[in-house]
Amino acid sequence: MAEVSGGLRVHGTVRVPGDKSISHRALILSAVARGSSKIEGILDSADVNCTAEALRALGASIPPLSPKIYVEGRQLHTPRAPLDCGNSGTSARLLAGVVAGAGLTATFVGDESLSRRPMRRVAEPLRAMGARVEVAPHGGLPMTVEAGRLSGVDYESSTASAQVKSAILLAAVLAGVRATVHEPHLSRDHTERMLAARGVTVERTGTSVSVPPAQTIKPANARVPADPSSAAFFVALAVLGQSSELLLPDVCLNPTRTGFLSVLRRMGAAIEIRDEREEGGDSIGTVVARSSSLHGVEIAPEDIPSLIDELPLFACVAARASGESVVTGAAELRVKESDRIATIVANLAAVGATAEELSDGFRVTGSDGPLQGQVRTDGDHRIAMAFGVLGAASRDQISVDDPDCVGVSFPGFWKELSRVRQ
């Protein structure tokens, strides 16, 4: 059990690890490009290593992950064994697109949590393009993608999913066909930006994106910025602290990833952006967060895609804000690493906060009363870190049952949390 007891003040600078979404994509795009690519600052975490290992099994030349690696693009081949994606939905869904587009055959497997997560959402558009895709009867893993001749697709996605969109775009570019994806709301656009930086024409109109046929992915050097989802934990820590200030440099400020910062500002948080600049097709800057008095807010469905990963943390922040906070339109949380809606509400109740589960979200009533108790993470890294922040910021005693699960995205989280409180 990780014991997290609250402190009043946090100060200093935290350079959080490289962005997980960009790290996955940098590996994949470098592996299928024609030539050598350099990647600096890649996230060395369990999820990203799953992508690296799967690409190696497909014949890619991926060295052990380190602060600077070189990837030589080469022709991929059908793997000899199933591709084990561990707990990484990004690995499974994006690489399904790669396997389909490259005309290969592969079976994808994962751990118990990933095996439960929905894969029909990526199987359906790949089938529409001509791939043969079989998923388990419950709709999850194992999933087998079989080689087939792909054709272009105009796909209407029922959910705003960067993973589904990316699978379609990757399959189309590798197969040399046209693809258009329409989303109800704009999801993360790292794949589009990174394809464009590698010479692929990407056409965007509103919440739709297209790639024309007959294109080639060129090699490119990439420097992975700090992950805004990881930075969010320390932004929240500073905001909830007393007489506190934290600086987080080199954070990716892609507008599809900054929804949490926008919501915190709506709650009254003192957040400043310094040294903003363009790098690698994305905006990057230093986030400065200071102690603040917060009030509850409502998060609407159209806000969800830009802070989907930060909603467990938002719930914990809302528990210390005045008034009521409500999230709706977030049913996607039920098919993440855990049923995050149920897990968030159950754990807030377990530590003494007031929360209510909704079908597609939750309601939290904030207070400044004492919070203490045990948190069951269900192996979910974001639940562990969110409740770690809640405990550390408020003089509370909160036990996290599986502290090591943070290795999926932020292996050094607990060390950094301790350091800034000294």
| DSSP classification of residue 118 | -
The tokens describing 400, both together, are 């996290």
Host H or E run for residue 402: none
SS3 state of residue 343: helix
| DSSP classification of residue 314 | H
Q: What are phi and psi of 352, to 5 degrees?
A: 100, 10
Q: Where are the beta strands (DSSP E) in 136-239?
A: 143-146, 153-156, 179-182, 203-205, 208-211, 222-223
The tokens describing 315, both together, are 């719930």
- Among residues 189, 303, 309, 378, the one annotated as catalytic is 309
SS3 state of residue 378: coil
**What is the C-alpha to C-alpha distance for residues 93 and 89, in angstroms, rounded to an integer?**
6
- Does the active-site annotation cover 339? no
353: which residues sit within 8 A by CB, 6+ positions away? Answer: 319, 364, 365, 367, 371
**What is the C-alpha to C-alpha distance for residues 106 and 83, in angstroms, rounded to an integer?**
7
The tokens describing 199, both together, are 């010479």
**What is the C-alpha to C-alpha distance for residues 94 and 201, in angstroms, rounded to an integer?**
19
Strand arrangement, sheet containing 298-299:
298-299, 324-327, 361-365, 354-358
Burial 209-248 (b: 16+ CB within 10 A, else e): bbbbeebebebbebbbbbbbbbbbbbbbbbbbbeebbbbb
SS3 state of residue 16: coil
**What is the C-alpha to C-alpha distance for residues 176 and 122, in angstroms, rounded to an integer?**
19
**What is the C-alpha to C-alpha distance for residues 138 and 142, in angstroms, rounded to an integer?**
10
Contact 143, 123 (CB under 8 A): yes
Where in the sequence numbering do the catalytic residues fall? Answer: 309
